[in-house]
Amino acid sequence: MPRLFAVVLALGLLTPAGCKQDASDAAQRRAEAALDRALDAWVRGEPPDRLEGIRVDDPDWRAGQRLVGFLVSQSGVVDGAKDEVRCRVALTLQNRSGRRVDREVKYRVRIGEPVSIERVPAS
């Protein structure tokens, strides 16, 4: 899964730099970058409260589950909220006994100081 993430990231870097982007595209890029940074920190075993400029609320992270890999599969700015982005993410978690579980979750990312990332309850 980390290899797939690297391919997706590389493809994203190949998009033309000269394209004009509006404010919602900028918010989406900033939200995705913050989410990637937070999830990368989780993979490395860092606690969620150590991220500078980002506040994260994820129940699995708080419970001590290990994040083995992740892939952001979809994201978009919430209608009427230029500073809020929803992201769908595939997580591979490992509990303390070593059992791995794949889970698809949604995060709400609010652009601000700090950036706020919270897992949206399953509906």
Q: Is the pLDDT of residue 99 over 90?
A: yes
Model confidence pLDDT, tens digit, residues 10-28? 445 444 444 435 677 888 9
What's the domain range around 73? 2-11+21-120
The count of structural domains within the chain is: 1
CATH of the domain at 97: 3.10.450
Provide DSSP, the chain.
-HHHHHHHHHHHHTS-TTS---HHHHHHHHHHHHHHHHHHHHHTT--GGG-TTEEEE-HHHHTTPEEEEEEEEEEEEPTT-TTEEEEEEEEEEE-TTS-EEEEEEEEEEE-SSSEEEEEEPP-
pTM of the model: 0.78
16 domain-assigned: no
- 36-65 residue pLDDT tens: 999 999 999 999 989 999 999 999 999 999
6 pLDDT above the threshold of 90: no
Is the residue at 44 inside a domain? yes
